[in-house]
Structure 1
């Protein structure tokens, strides 16, 4: 259990760092690089910024549930209920924009790294579901 806890802790820390980085980028860096977007936001930029946010919030919520399991606050079965699983797969696993050169490099970097983080946590979730004896329902 110790190595699994370490994996979750490192992933939690990575996610939190990326959330802070995304917030700082959207708040401080992007407006300086593209000041005209401040008054007239680019729809594509806004949608992709929300995609990053969706990935990171889904991952963080799932990791917090796993932390609650480790601390005995909820059971593994409760954490694996359908309503507590990663969601938003259609939005979070869409990669169409990751190579869009019209988007700023900083946003593309956040898109790429948040996508790979979401994928990795999705695989962790599958491992947890397997350990609890549940299978992901095919949509």
Structure 2
């Protein structure tokens, strides 16, 4: 008899090393640039006219948003380096310990959330979705034993479908 899992295909491994990684990488880096442009331009103007509660929330959430995006960009750059043979897996594991992909959730019931500019809320939502996809990919690649445990705030079926879509579709 053969062992279970001997012929199992790692969808995460395929996604991380396939040309589809380029799509996630481009999406992540594009979101970083789009967010920076928004926060330095229209977001700065919009923040000046927000009600007090929304203004405080905007300041806090914009810091969380930029931190979240920088963490994701760091992970994407590390994964690109290992994919391109610029770093060994051990080097990436050492550096990756500094990257935090979990724990940046947003309280959409916070006072002032609905007063925030729609474009800003959209950037936050998109960053959270991308963060969940990258965190799932990270668990699948680097911590497969933990990959089966999905955070309460993440729909496991949707997460797996996103991972499959990343691995096998082209955009």
Output the TM-score relative to the length of structure 2: 0.64
Match of 1:103 in 2: 116
Query: Are the equivalent residues in 2 in contact too, given 1:15–1:59 (CA < 8 A)?
Result: yes
Q: Give the Å deviation of 1:89.
A: 2.4
Going from structure 1 to structure 2, the CA distance change for 1:16 and 1:119 (only over 3 Å counts) comes to same
**Contact 1:129–1:135 (CA under 8 A) maintained in structure 2:** no
Cα RMSD for the two superposed structures: 2.8
Greater RCO (CA < 8 Å, at least 6 residues apart): 2
Provide closer, same or farther for how the CA distance between residues 45 and 54 of structure 1 changes in structure 2, counting only shifts above 3 A.
same
Structure 1 range deviating more: 121-130 or 106-115: 121-130
Instruction: Give the corresponding residue for 2:96.
Output: 84
Compared with structure 1, are the counterparts of its residues 33 and 77 closer, same or farther at alpha carbon in structure 2 (3 Å cutoff)? same
- Number of the residue aligned with 1:32: 45
Q: Which residue of 1 aligns with 2:20?
A: 7
Query: Which digits, 9 at most, give the CA deviation of each residue in 1:61-85, with x for residues without a partner?
Result: 001111111121211233234x514
- Is this contact kept in 1: 2:46–2:117, CA < 8 A? no
Residue 64 (str. 1) matches residue 72 (str. 2): no
3-state SS, counterpart of residue 86 of structure 2: coil
Runs of at least 5 residues in structure 1 that lack an aligned partner in the other structure: none
Structure 2: gaps (5+ residues)? 1-12, 148-171
- Once the two structures are TM-superposed, the CA of residue 2 in structure 1 deviates from its matched residue by 7.0
Q: C-alpha offsets along residues 85-128 of structure 1, whole Å, 9 cap, x if unaligned?
A: 441622x2x12138820211111101100000000000110121
Once superposed, which parts of structure 1, at least 4 consecutive aligned residues long, lie more than 6 Å away? none
Deviates more, 1:47-56 or 1:27-36: 27-36
